[in-house]
A = this chain, B = another copy of it.
Amino acid sequence: MEPSAKDHILSSWQDTLHSHGFRVTRPRQQVMEIITSSTTALTPQEIYHKSLEGERFPGIASVYRTLELLDKLGLIQQIHQPGGCHGIWPTVEGHNHCLICRNCGQMKIIEGNEDITGYIARIENQTGYRVDDHWLQFFGTCSGCLD
């Protein structure tokens, strides 16, 4: 069986841990497994509660510690939503944005190929700010929830 995209992320995360001298422990694997399996951005508490479904599960402190580590290594990012801040999602390479279903929370990462350089230049002129980054997020309804 061909390795799935999820398996690929998981093994690359484990490589990153090893190459930085961190151990690949069972609690860390469980947290990483949950994050990479999810179709929605999860909060730390949600990740912890999902882990309870398993036979053995990490303590809540280890969940927080693992998230802190993954964040420090740049492997995850925090997703912000109007009604529920700071969901966790794997970091994706390159410039991209997220698309969130308001109904079921399902998230998709989309390639950021919009051209707003002209808009940014105008903002810089008007405000005197130097702009070095932006967030673009889309909200709507996914195809499953539209039916």
Closest to A110 in B: B123
Q: How far is the CB of A138 from chain B (nearest CB, A)?
A: 5
This protein's copies in its complex: 2
Q: How far is the CB of A44 from chain B (nearest CB, A)?
A: 13
B131, B138, B139: which contacts A140 (Cβ < 8 A)?
B131
Question: Is the C-beta of A146 less than 8 angstroms from some C-beta in chain B?
Answer: yes
Closest to A106 in B: B129
Question: Is the C-beta of A95 less than 8 angstroms from some C-beta in chain B?
Answer: no
Question: Is the C-beta of A136 less than 8 angstroms from some C-beta in chain B?
Answer: yes
B126, B129, B134, B139: which contacts A133 (Cβ < 8 A)?
B139
**Chain A residues within CB distance 8 Å of chain B:** 78, 80, 82, 85-86, 99, 101, 108, 110, 113-114, 116, 119-120, 123-124, 126-143, 146
Instruction: List 27 A-B pairs, Cβ < 8 Å.
Output: A80-B85, A99-B123, A99-B131, A108-B129, A110-B123, A113-B119, A114-B116, A114-B119, A116-B116, A123-B138, A124-B140, A127-B142, A127-B143, A128-B143, A128-B146, A129-B140, A129-B142, A129-B143, A131-B138, A131-B140, A132-B139, A133-B138, A133-B139, A134-B136, A135-B135, A135-B136, A136-B136
